[in-house]
Amino acid sequence: MSAPALDRPAAGSPGPAVDPAALQQQFEATIAADHRIEPRDWMPEGYRKTLVRQIAQHAHSEIIGMQPEGDWLLAAPSLRRKAVLLAKVQDEAGHGMYLYSAAETLGADRADLTDKLIERRQKYSSIFNYPTLTYADVGVIGWLVDGAAICNQVPLCRSSYGPYARAMIRICKEESFHQRQGYELLMTMMRGTDEQRAMVQDAVDRWWWPSLMMFGPPDDESPNSAQSMAWGIKRHGNDELRQRFVDMTVPQAKVLGVTLPDPDLTLDEATGRWRFGAIDWSELQRVISGDGPCNAERIARRRAARDDNAWVTEAATAYAAKHA
Ligand SMILES: [Fe+2]
Ligand SMILES: [Fe+2]
């Protein structure tokens, strides 16, 4: 499937001769009216490319994100915890699939996107390059990482591209369950032994700052943000979303009884918002550019999954051809 081209007639138009300026105008009017752009509609090439990049990165993050928690499936402390974790990790696989499907509506090829991920030509969320050292990390990922994902993703339910927005509605419902299961696990541990409480605090200490980095660099250093907002792909800047996450999380930390590892965290009485300390952006840069604690391991495992399972695709393709 090729990308919609300028000379292709817009949906419902009578003939092939359509004025490019009129197509552009129609696109802009759709965005301005807060209506959705659908796969059949004409769209500027930059809009299509930005969406493919963002949706692919999002899909890759869901799939790579199965690994840090998947590591604990065989070491879950009870049958109940195992069932919950299994359901969560399977949800993340489903999120990846919805999102690859959304990218396909823009003319992208799923296998090609996977190759780009494995060859490091497309990125995924920096957060999944950190290791999960204890079972408390499973809880903290649910609480903080899925919590940050919810802040990021709820506004995407109103994204201007229809298939992406609709995928996000389903995904966000499941992310809420992910956050709750994480918080419930941590609450249980905090009511347990001193050793368990120490495990939770240690996990919070390690995941707090990387969770804040999930929102990306500050707005003035985020080159694509302004255009994405103008196109209605993104609805809020990175800094606003990060602030919402902090405001939502600080009271939850209090109820849980953990200390967030930031001595500068103070309530701004005038605005009701929590001020937080400086983020180490060099760490984010390092992890994004491939030098985080687990980047090589994550990609190696994804590569092995693609290569080891290639025979399934081959067999299914041969079977389909035989019955065509
Ligand atoms: Fe997800
Ligand atoms: Fe999730």
| The pair of three-digit structure tokens given for residue 107, joined into one six-digit string | 């003319």
Cα-to-centroid distance, 58 and ligand 1 (Å)? 9
Cα-to-centroid distance, 81 and ligand 2 (Å)? 16
CA torsion through residues 119, 123, 126, 127, sign: negative
Cα-to-centroid distance, 62 and ligand 2 (Å)? 8
Residues paired with 275 in a beta bridge: 266
Ligand at minimal distance from the CA of 147 is 2
Does residue 296 carry a pLDDT above 80?
Answer: yes
Does residue 270 carry a pLDDT above 70?
Answer: yes
pLDDT band for position 9 (cuts 50, 70, 90): very low
Cα-to-centroid distance, 92 and ligand 2 (Å)? 6
Cα-to-centroid distance, 150 and ligand 1 (Å)? 9
Ligand at minimal distance from the CA of 61 is 1
Cα-to-centroid distance, 149 and ligand 1 (Å)? 8
Does residue 1 carry a pLDDT above 50?
Answer: no
Ligand at minimal distance from the CA of 181 is 2
Pick among 1.20.1260.10, 1.10.1760.20, 3.40.50.300, 3.40.50.1000: CATH of 24-323: 1.20.1260.10
**Whole-number average pLDDT of the chain:** 93
pLDDT tens per residue across span 185-205: 999 999 999 999 999 999 999
Cα-to-centroid distance, 127 and ligand 2 (Å)? 12
Cα-to-centroid distance, 95 and ligand 2 (Å)? 8
Q: What average pLDDT does range 40-49 have in this prediction?
A: 96
Domain range summary for the chain, segments of one domain joined by + = 24-323
Rounded to whole angstroms, how far apart are CA atoms 311 and 53?
Answer: 28
CA torsion through residues 128, 134, 135, 141, sign: negative
Cα-to-centroid distance, 184 and ligand 2 (Å)? 15
Cα-to-centroid distance, 192 and ligand 2 (Å)? 25
Q: What average pLDDT does range 201-217 have in this prediction?
A: 97
